[in-house]
C-alpha cells in the first residue's frame, strides 16, 4: 500500500513537470494560500509579496517569511475518545456541488488503504468529518456568495477548507496549522482532477509532504521505477 502511494506521488510529480500548464495555486504544491494578518486572502502571489516587502523592511527574507508559518504545521490532535477527526468544509455550495463526490471518494480510499474504519483492528484513529449545523446541514467556509474570502465565524480555523478551482490549479496544506488565521488548512481541486490527485492532496492534509523526494526515502521505500508508465521515455529526458 505504501509503495502504491509513493508511486502515485512520483507519477503526479512527473506529469506536472512534463505535460501540465503552469498551476494557479501558487509557487508549488502544498503552499498555503496567501493570507494577510487581517484574515483576508490576497488576489495573487505578486500582490502578496509586494505587500510583504512594504512591511518586512530590510530584514525581511521574502519567500521564507511567506511560507514559514509560525507556528508551523503540527499533527492533527486526538479528541476525548482518542480519535483523530479531521474536520472540513466546502468553500461554498458551488464548490460542494462540483467536487464533493470525488473529494469524499478520496477520503474513503485513504481510510480503506489505512486498513478500514478507525479502531484497534485497523490500527489507526483517523476519520474525516464535514462541518454541519444544528439541523445536520453542511456549513460552508464562506457565507457570502460574492465574497468568497470571508470566513464563516461559526467555523473554527482548524477546519480544512475545500475549494473548487474552475479551470485548473490544485494543492493541499501539510498537516494542521494553528496560527490564528483562517484559510490556513486548505485543499484546492480543479475540474480536471482525478481520484489519484485527490489522494495526493489529502496525503498532504494527513501530514505528508512530497515524501518520494526525501533524502532518506530509499531507507524506507523501494520505488519500482520501471513500473511507471513511460518511465524509459521520461528518464531519457534527464540524461
pLDDT in tens, 144-202: 876 777 899 999 999 999 999 877 677 888 899 888 889 989 999 987 778 988 999 99
The pTM is what?
Answer: 0.67
127 φ, ψ to 5°? -150, 160
pLDDT greater at residue 24 or residue 35: 35
pLDDT greater at residue 93 or residue 64: 93
pLDDT in tens, 43-91: 665 676 667 666 655 444 444 444 444 555 789 999 999 999 999 999 9
Which domains are seen in the chain, by residue range?
Answer: 24-54+74-209 (3.40.390)
Q: What is the pLDDT of residue 209?
A: 77
Mean of the pLDDT values across residues 100-121?
Answer: 96
**pLDDT above 70 coverage of the chain, percent:** 68
Burial status of residue 64 (CB atoms within 10 A of its CB: 0-12, 13-18, 19 or more): exposed
CA-based nearest residue to 165, from 225, 119, 99, 231: 99
Amino acid at each position: 500500500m505504501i509503495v502504491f502511494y509513493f508511486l502515485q506521488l512520483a507519477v503526479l510529480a512527473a506529469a506536472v513537470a512534463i505535460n501540465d500548464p503552469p498551476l494557479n495555486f501558487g509557487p508549488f504544491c502544498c503552499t498555503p494560500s496567501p493570507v494577510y494578518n487581517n484574515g483576508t486572502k490576497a488576489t495573487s502571489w505578486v500582490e502578496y509579496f509586494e505587500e510583504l516587502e512594504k512591511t518586512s523592511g530590510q530584514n525581511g527574507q521574502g519567500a521564507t517569511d511567506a511560507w514559514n508559518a509560525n507556528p508551523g504545521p503540527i499533527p492533527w490532535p486526538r479528541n476525548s475518545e482518542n480519535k483523530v477527526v479531521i474536520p472540513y468544509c466546502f468553500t461554498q455550495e458551488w464548490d460542494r456541488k462540483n467536487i464533493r463526490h470525488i473529494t469524499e471518494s478520496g477520503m474513503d480510499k485513504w481510510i480503506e488503504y489505512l486498513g478500514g474504519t478507525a479502531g484497534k483492528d485497523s490500527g489507526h484513529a483517523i476519520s474525516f468529518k464535514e462541518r454541519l449545523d444544528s439541523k445536520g446541514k453542511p456549513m460552508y467556509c464562506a457565507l457570502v456568495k460574492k465574497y468568497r474570502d470571508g470566513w464563516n465565524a461559526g467555523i473554527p480555523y482548524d477546519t480544512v477548507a475545500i475549494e473548487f478551482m474552475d479551470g485548473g490549479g490544485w494543492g493541499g496544506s501539510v498537516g494542521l496549522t494553528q496560527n490564528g488565521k483562517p484559510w490556513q488548512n486548505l485543499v484546492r481541486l480543479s475540474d480536471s482532477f482525478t481520484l489519484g490527485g485527490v489522494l495526493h492532496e489529502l496525503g498532504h492534509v494527513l501530514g505528508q509532504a512530497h515524501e518520494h523526494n526525501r533524502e532518506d526515502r530509499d531507507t524506507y521505500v523501494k520505488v519500482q521505477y520501471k513500473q511507471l508508465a513511460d518511465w524509459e521515455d521520461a528518464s531519457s529526458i534527464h540524461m
